[in-house]
Structure formats: structure tokens, C-alpha cells
Amino acid sequence: MSVATAHSASAVPPADETPATGGVPAQDEGIWVEPGAADAGAAGAGPTETSAGQVPAQVAAQAPADDPAAPAVDGHTTATPVAAVTTEDAEGPGGAEGAEGVADAVDEQVARDAHDFGVYARTGGWAFALKVARSVRPGGELPGETVKVSAKRFAELAGCSAERVMRYYKAWDRAADDGMVPHFEALAPGAEVELPDSDVWLSYYSSRSSATSDRGTAITAAAEAEGIRPTKALEVAENPTALRAAILADPSTAQAARTALLDRLKEDPSLQTELARDIARTEELKKAVASETQAATRIGYVRQIVENGQVKTPAGQVIDAPAELRAEAERHLSLIDELDDDEDTGEWATEAYDTVKELVVQTVESNPELRVQERRTKFYSSLQKATKVFEELTLDDAVDLDAIYEDDMLQRLEELQEALTSCIAALRKASPGD
């Protein structure tokens, strides 16, 4: 194995030449040494001086631990570990093999960061919660009874807020109540325990202070009932503007909001009133509600025939629906029930209602007895309405008849009197007693 020298053979001057720089020739093998190298050799091994089988990287790796130039890690002075490189590794135009050997070495601080990252990847926030749990004094312990400190003091040492420390504290406390981790009293500063998986951490920890309020507690409970993380629900609740933007921009978000509002309406009378008021004051919504109400009424008419086997005639009498009528009503109803929630039922409801209504009229007209009863019911219904209206017609509120008199009033009353006289006469003729 050959040792790499500082200069190639072409750099050695002839024997009869004196070095221009005033240096002295080396005693070993007549090799020329650069100026300053000899002086450095007298004081100790310099950067250009190596022993057999070593390169400068090795020398650096052998620096004493108390060397001030060595990097310090967490208050401890250490030598930077560098992989040993042989002269064979250093040989070659690019030193590729040597570079590969150096790349295998890992700085101590890098290794420590990687270790901490691995711990956090496995345990999540539990790793930091443990530091709080074993160092922060529980509420029952007084200063002087333990080396632990208050959450406020711990936060000062950590350079963060006491609220943040207490969120980790409370997360550990909840987990301890569930038997996931030891209680605070069983932990001493520096204690190490087996930590739960990181996936469990978010079940106990909330990064938001609003989670501790009554409102936050209700939101947390609702989120858990829906099977989602409370932090997500709390984030949305804390930013209504973002929720509004999502509803306006995304149909699926608007649909989710609509469904949630409908569920809340069942248990919130105040919201019912407010929403009804908003609808009444919005012309577009009023028309939409009227249209949907009509469709729902018509579907209900058809569904009543299918479920109860009875139908109401145009005059208002309730009769048993024939088999043909029930079958047709059931067919239309099945088509309506198969529609998706976002499909318009208006046209389908109108078609079903008109079809069934026509079949009801045909049923009445085809049965003489039903036909007579239908006319009797219709006449009596009209008579009741007319009687009610005429009974409400009074002049008691008129102090001065001259003030309200119109020729049209008298004419209409006279025409009504003639119609009543004719009707009474016709009924008397039809009376069985005459």
C-alpha cells in the first residue's frame, strides 16, 4: 500500500538547485516539504501531516473530547464522529469510494433528532404529555412536597403559555382515568412509561381552549356522536365565515348544512320561528314553499288511497276505493317513492293526482247511488257555505245607511232573494209530503 504524498515527483527540484523559497529539504527520501510544514511538524501534527493509513479526516475524528473546537450537543462537548477513510478510499480522481464512506457517518445531533422524530411518530403527543405529567405538580400537592413545578412555572421554562401546558395536562388526566396511562402521583421527573399509540392521542387532546366551555363541550359531544374528531368541529364553530364560504361555494357542504338545520329544527322552537319568518319575508322562498306544499298535499291524497283503501270525492264524501283505483294509485306512488331526494316531485305529484281524481269521478258517475249522494252532498255543502256567509252579512256596524249605500248592493240582494225563492219553490215540489 502506498502513502499519498503532498507533491508529485515533478515537484521535486534537481539536486543542484536551491529552493527559491528558502525551505529545507526533508531528510526522508529527499522529498521536498512545503514552507511552513516543517515548523508545523515541530509543534505537532498539522493539517498536511499524516501517518501511514490515515487522511486528514481521520485526524479530525481523533480530536480530544475537551477540544474547544469540537461541537457541543445539549451542553456536552463531543467530538464530531467522522468515518475513518483509508488511503485507498482517498485514491481516484473523484474519491467516490471515500465519499461513500463519509456519507455513512451520522452527526450525533442528527441522530438525536431522528430518534425524537421516531418517538413522536409512534406516540404522537403522548411523548410531550409525559414530560408535562411527570414534571407538573398535581393540584393536590403543595410546593416543597415535590420537585415538580406548577403549570405556570413549567410554561415559563418551556417558553409557551400555561394554557397550552394545561391542555396536555388535562389530556393525560383523561387518559389516566381511562387506564391508558399512569396517574400523575405515580410519575416522577424523568420517569419513562410505555405510551399509547399516536392514533389514540386526539381522542383525549384538544388544541383549542373553546373545548372547555359549555358550548365547546356540546360541540365535542356532538362530534363524538357523529364519529368525527372534536377538533374539526370546534375549528368550524370558531370560524363561521369559513363555514359560510364553504356553503356558498360547495353544493355538498350546503346539503350537509341543510340536513343539520332540519335535524336541529325538531328540537329548537326558536329556530323554527326564525326560519319561518325568513321564508315568509323572501318572495322566492314563499313561492317554492307553496309549490312544495301543493305537491305534498297531492301525494298525500294518493298515499291515503293506497294505505287506507278510501278516497274523498270532489263533494267531500268518503267512499271505499275500487280495486282498479287502488292499483293505479299504488303504481303512481311507487314511481314517486323511487325518485331521488334532489329530484323535483311536482310534475309526478300532479300527474298522479289528476289520474286518480279522474278515476274517482268515473267511479261516482258509474254508480247511480253514489252519483245521487254526491250531488246531495255538494248541494248541502254549498247551502251551508251560503248560509254562513249570509249570517255574517249585517248592517249592525253601519251607523248611517246613507254613508254605505250603493245601488249595486240593493240589486244583488234582490237577485239573491229571487234565487232563494226559486230554490225554495223547487225543493217544496220535490218534498215527499207534497
By CB atoms closer than 10 A (0-12, 13-18, 19+), residue 187 is buried
3-state SS class at 312: strand
Per-residue confidence in pLDDT tens, the chain, 434 aa: 443 433 333 444 444 444 444 443 444 444 444 444 434 343 444 443 433 334 333 333 333 333 333 333 333 333 333 333 333 444 444 444 444 455 568 888 888 888 877 777 777 789 899 999 999 987 656 777 788 998 888 999 999 988 888 888 888 988 999 899 999 989 999 999 999 888 888 777 765 555 556 666 777 677 767 776 666 777 777 778 888 898 899 999 898 888 888 888 888 889 899 999 998 999 998 998 999 899 999 999 999 899 998 888 888 888 888 888 899 999 998 988 888 877 888 889 999 999 999 999 988 888 898 889 888 888 888 888 888 887 777 666 556 677 777 888 888 888 888 988 998 888 888 877 65
Q: Which helix (H) or strand (E) holds 378?
A: helix 368-392
Provide the greatest CA pair distance for the chain.
Answer: 168
The DSSP letter of residue 200 is: G
Q: Which helix (H) or strand (E) holds 368?
A: helix 368-392
Task: Write down the pTM of the prediction.
Answer: 0.40
Closest CA to 152 of 142, 143, 144, 162: 162
Judge whether 336 and 356 are in contact, CB under 8 Å.
Answer: no
Closest CA to 57 of 105, 114, 121, 128: 105
Within 13 Å, how many C-alpha atoms sit on residue 423's CB side? 11
Within 13 Å, how many C-alpha atoms sit on residue 304's CB side? 16
pLDDT score at 214? 63
Instruction: List, for residues 285-305, the tens digit of each pLDDT value.
Output: 899 899 989 999 999 999 989
Instruction: List, for residues 226-282, the tens digit of each pLDDT value.
Output: 776 666 777 777 778 888 898 899 999 898 888 888 888 888 889 899 999 998 999
